[in-house]
Amino acid sequence: MLHFFSHVKRLKTVPPRKAALVGSASFAALGPVYFIACNAVAQLLHPTENPIAVTVSFLVFGSYGWLQTSAFYILGISFIALAAALVLKINSKINLGAIVVFLVGVAFILVAGNHVQSPGTVITLSEKIHRDSAIAIVIMSPLACYLLAPSLKASGHRGLWIYSMIAGTIAVLTIVVGFLIPTGHSDFLGIFERILLLNGQLWGEIICVRLIWTAFKPKPTQAAIDSGRLRLLQIYANFHSEGEQ
């Protein structure tokens, strides 16, 4: 019990900016997990819907359609939280990558609030909002990766920079093969959409975990840095003295 309260006391000493960053990143990390879990359950509850051909938007129908709808809402809010965490971490007044991530979150919320219509019914305004929001998500997925990559590199996250470039390339290839080639679009729309969603969610999840990890990772003290430099100078001096002998 005393050990628990010692951690609570430590949390009170965390700077407000770091606390906001960790809180935003933590919530953002829960979004993809909730979405995947709800999507898996919703798919099981709709056994007649072929996941290879049918998109996840059609899982909102039926008595348990609220599962998929809530998944879209939570995912949208999580991307908005991720955008907030990125702004706090990158410490930039204007960051296009974070803005695109924010817009992706807004688009997911619009998708959640405007359901796709059943085949054969009249196209409504809600259907158009859903369709255009889904198209916007597809377009913004690689943009978010590519625009955010330089900022991640500049803030010291070289690994995230490389991964963002890879994730953006995967998104572009998925879009080209799955949505722009007519033969792929007709019969495999569902699976390509799921690949794009999974790629984006995994990208966001890894960034969240990395942001949380680095927030609590102890920074090397100046004394440790100076000690390391002194050690290098000693090695350099010994090497040259041996060479002269």
Per-residue pLDDT band for 155 (boundaries 50, 70, 90) equals confident
Higher pLDDT: 202 or 52? It is: 202
Structure tokens at 190: 């569902």
Would you state the pLDDT for residue 123?
78
SS (H, E, C) the chain: CHHHHHHHHHHHCCCHHHHHHHHHHHHHHHHHHHHHHHHHHHHHCCCCCCCCCCCHHHHHCCCCHHHHHHHHHHHHHHHHHHHHHHHHHHCCCCCHHHHHHHHHHHHHHHHHHCCCCCCCCCCCHHHHHHHHHHHHHHHHHHHHHHHHHHHHHHCCCHHHHHHHHHHHHHHHHHHHHHHHCHHHHHHCHHHHHHHHHHHHHHHHHHHHHHHHHHHHCCCCCHHHHHHHHHHHHHHHHHHHHHHHC
Q: Is a pLDDT exceeding 50 seen at residue 3?
A: no
What average pLDDT score do residues 188-196 get?
A: 89
Per-residue pLDDT band for 100 (boundaries 50, 70, 90) equals very high
Structure tokens at 123: 């196209």
Q: Is a pLDDT exceeding 70 seen at residue 58?
A: yes
Per-residue pLDDT band for 233 (boundaries 50, 70, 90) equals low
**Cα 24–chain centre separation:** 12
Per-residue pLDDT band for 54 (boundaries 50, 70, 90) equals confident
Would you state the pLDDT for residue 222?
46
Per-residue pLDDT band for 245 (boundaries 50, 70, 90) equals low
Q: Is a pLDDT exceeding 90 seen at residue 74?
A: yes
Question: pTM surpassing 0.85?
Answer: no
What average pLDDT score do residues 143-153 get?
A: 91
What average pLDDT score do residues 169-185 get?
A: 78
| Alpha-carbon gap, residue 125 to 144, rounded angstroms | 27
Structure tokens at 154: 């500049």
> Which of 20-24, 59-63, 96-100, 214-218 bottoms out in mean pLDDT, i.e. has the lowest?
214-218
Q: Considering the chain, what is the average pLDDT of its residues? A: 82
Instruction: Tell me the per-residue pLDDT of 122-143, one tens digit each, with 9 for 90 and over.
Output: 778 888 999 999 999 999 999 9
